[in-house]
A and B are shown apart, each in its own frame.
Chain A
Amino acid sequence: MNATILNGGLAGDLFVDRLQDLLLAELATAGYQPAAWTLREEKISYCLGCFECWTKTPGLCRIDDAGRLVSASVINSHLVIYLSPVTFGGYSSELKKAVDRSICLLSPFFTHVDGEVHHQRRYDRYPALLGVGILPHRHVEQEQIFSTLISRNAINMHSPQHASVVVTRDLDEPALQAVLRPALSVQEAIHP
């Protein structure tokens, strides 16, 4: 089983990198082959909103950079983890840069999911999605928005399972493990 971590930590945010290392260890223990992308270190251009990945080079962004590799890694994983400072309730700019480039994984055509219009699948299988958000301290509204955003992304990306957790920067390693281990079981329902 493959797992991909998208690390959306901003420059100098060592806590996010420590959390990434912890997640890598937990994933390996759980039997995954994990990979991590520290997005701020990758050359990834921003999505131009041109839709050429739907209408000109279907399934492939016209920008040939690491953004393509990240999308390939995502769609070939059983579990994807969005690891990010919670930024006004959403993702950091670094994570959003990669997420925006992932629309090539969907079809442009519409379908209905629970009465809402969404895009059709391009692939047969999509990964489970786990959001791991980081806040300096508890913030109920932002935690709720983060959880909702993960849920909305999971619908759009046809993720078979999803979950989200928000951790605060004051937690030590055992406390972080205690939060993350149950969250990682999000994918067990599909691949026990």
Chain B
Amino acid sequence: MNTPQTATLLIGSAKPIGDSTSEALGGYLMQRLADYGLTGETHHVARAMRSEARTAGLLAAVDRSDLFVLAFPLYVDSLPYLTVQALERIAAHRQAQENARPVRFVAIANCGFPEAHHNDTALAICRQFAAAAGLEWTGGLSMGAGTPFGGKPLEEAGGMARGVIAALDLTATALAKGDTVPDEAVAIMAKPFMPIRGYTLMGGMGWRMEGWRNGVYRQLRARPFANQSD
């Protein structure tokens, strides 16, 4: 395949614009691809699936792109509902075309668990989607411990983003040349930026602080549906 000239990013998080780790990751990759001369456009899944007109806009964007980038958060071991819905529509749209234009596809998954391998099933689903939609699978990146990043640009996230930035830089270089996602980038991306024990301790503290701020510290383990049938 020739080197790609155009890229479309779909942000698979339903969070408001500017709030999601998926946007930080996908946005950074798109910036680096732009450095290599690719022109790009970004779609947010909650907007894209809000109306038929907007969904048609997403489908057209994928059709005219050389590279389709999906950045999404892990929801219950797989892709979020709206993202699944978008992929269903894209696959059906492309299957209905006799000669769908070749498009390459890369997926970036992030999860709140410290271990990146929680994303494995979701990336396997992405690969099957690529086959169903007639997209060329170029690989997937998998990041754990994504919660602390939020929507903050990676360049402003300090040391914890160093590995992620390195992985995305390697990926952009490869994709811009028409190559697949390098194994080195996959390995760097999956490496935890802090010890797992530290992450879970800090995570627990964060949930407690949030509960305290919201005045429900003592109710954090509430069971509103308990024993409704007993």
Q: What is A's interface to B at a CB cutoff of 8 Å?
A: 2, 10, 46-51, 54-60, 71-72, 75-77, 87-93, 96-97, 99-100, 102-103, 105, 107-110, 116-118, 122-124, 141-142, 145, 148-149, 152-153, 156
Contact = CB atoms under 8 A, between A and B. Distances in A.
A93 B220 contact: no
Kindly list the 8 A-B residue pairs having the minimum CB-CB distance in the complex, ordered from nearest: A93-B85, A88-B128, A55-B210, A76-B229, A152-B77, A108-B207, A97-B81, A110-B200
12 contacts: A54-B210, A75-B226, A88-B132, A90-B79, A90-B121, A97-B81, A99-B75, A105-B225, A110-B204, A124-B226, A141-B128, A152-B121
Contacts of A56: 214, 216
Given A47-B81, A100-B75, A108 B220 contact: yes
Interface residues of B, number: 52
A48 B88 CA distance: 20
Interface of B: 13-15, 20, 46, 73, 75-82, 84-85, 87-88, 91, 113-115, 118, 121-122, 124-126, 128-129, 132, 196, 200, 203-204, 207, 210-211, 214, 216, 219-230
Contact of B216 (A55, A89, A90): A55
A54 B91 CA distance: 34
Contact of A96 (B13, B78, B91, B227): B78
Given A57-B216, A110-B200, A110-B204, A156 B76 contact: yes
A142 B132 CA distance: 11
